[in-house]
A and B are shown apart, each in its own frame.
Chain A
Amino acid sequence: MRLKTLISLPLLLLVAFAASVLAQEQVMILRHAEIKDHQRPPVKFNHEQHIGKVDCLQCHHDFDAYMNNRGGEGQPCGTCHGQESNRDTISLRDAFHYQCKGCHEFLRSQGKSAGATTCGECHIRQR
């Protein structure tokens, strides 16, 4: 009985941890404290849907002074991008717009299917 508990408890914890990580990763609500007041409803970003379709480093980037992408380590976007643009980084809002909308528009221009490009398709109002 004690042995069973000893084995099952860590397993249970592992499953719970994995589930919580997956749940967090699948659909992320892009509500950032850096953008002080969100004027539009925050975007629900489906991370799962983009894995395999987009090079991870495109979003998880880290540019050096010569604009070489050294690849980020999974830090949140708000670590570098703030509410306003500055000399080195564009604002968080612009970063999201360029990454999401820019990529969708580019894919569509290549004749491929892609996600939303209009405001309300991403910033969906809850009824």
Chain B
Amino acid sequence: MINIYDFLAGPAAWGSFAFCLVGLALKLAYFYGFTKGTDMVAPNQGPAGSGSAVYFTRPPGELYFRSQPMFAAAVSIYHACLFAAPLFLAAHNFLLQEYLGISFFVFPESVSDTITVIFFISGIFLILRRVIQPKVRRVTSARDYFLLSVSALPFLTGYLAYHQIGPYVWMLVLHVFTAELLLVIIPFSKPVHACLFFLARGFMGFEVLARRVWSRMGVEG
């Protein structure tokens, strides 16, 4: 059992991180090449595009968020916790310190624990929203529940392992495995929006802000 853990926390961890980063870079390169011949989105979006991406990350600023404050809060909290809990967890940073000699700022463990619980609450809200709201249910498939579950599983197994509920080493093996599963599927599924979000918002910002300004000036966009 411990050998499986050693493999997962060692070579498999490096492999899945590399796979995720290379996959995301390839996706970006693909979309850059895809739009280069037609819209020139990536080279043209410039400050209007990046401004739009920043604007979107401030929930009250975006019209879609202002009209749905509950969803806005849940989705923002979900994403904040998704990054904050694993990045600033003491145990992860100890390992990072051992492997690479670097570490981030570390939360006290009680804070990380609370962040995880908040993550679960916001995740349950997002699942319920897909179940209850008819207009969202219509565009929801099994894949969406699967992806939400895959992003939540490392948190669930990590939470159980931290509190030592259930067989500890098994839980830890499951924790590392599910986290690596998430890393591997990120570039090839909806979570790719972690990266492509910036291109999508960039395109919108460019269309709405830059191209509109240009058309007023009588310049072809």
Q: Does B168 contact A (CB under 8 A)?
A: yes
How far apart are the CA atoms of A125 and B109 in the complex, in Å?
A: 14
Cβ-defined contact, B169 with A39, below 8 A: no
Are A120 and B172 neighbours in the complex by a CB distance under 8 Å? Answer: yes
Number of A-B contacts (CB under 8 A): 27
| Interface residue A55 (Cβ < 8 Å from any Cβ of B) | no
Interface residue ranges of A26-40 to B (CB < 8 Å): 39-40
Q: Could you give, for residues 150-190 of chain B, a 1 whenever the CB lies within 8 Å of some chain A CB and a 0 otherwise?
A: 00000000000111100011001000000000000000000
User: For residue B98, which residues in chain A have a CB less than 8 angstroms away from its CB?
Assistant: 97
Q: Are B6 and A108 in contact (CB under 8 A)?
A: yes
A39-B108, A39-B109, A40-B109 given; A125·B164 CB < 8 A: yes
Asked whether, in the complex, the Cβ of B172 is within 8 Å of the Cβ of A118, the reply is yes
B163's nearest neighbour on chain A, judged by CB, is A125
From A117, A119, A121, B91 is in contact (CB under 8 Å) with: A119
- Residues of B participating in the A interface, judged by any CB pair closer than 8 Å: 2, 5-6, 90-91, 94, 98, 108-110, 161-164, 168-169, 172
Apart from the given pairs A118-B168, A120-B161, A124-B164, 4 other A-B contacts in the complex at a CB distance below 8 Å: A39-B108, A39-B110, A118-B2, A119-B91
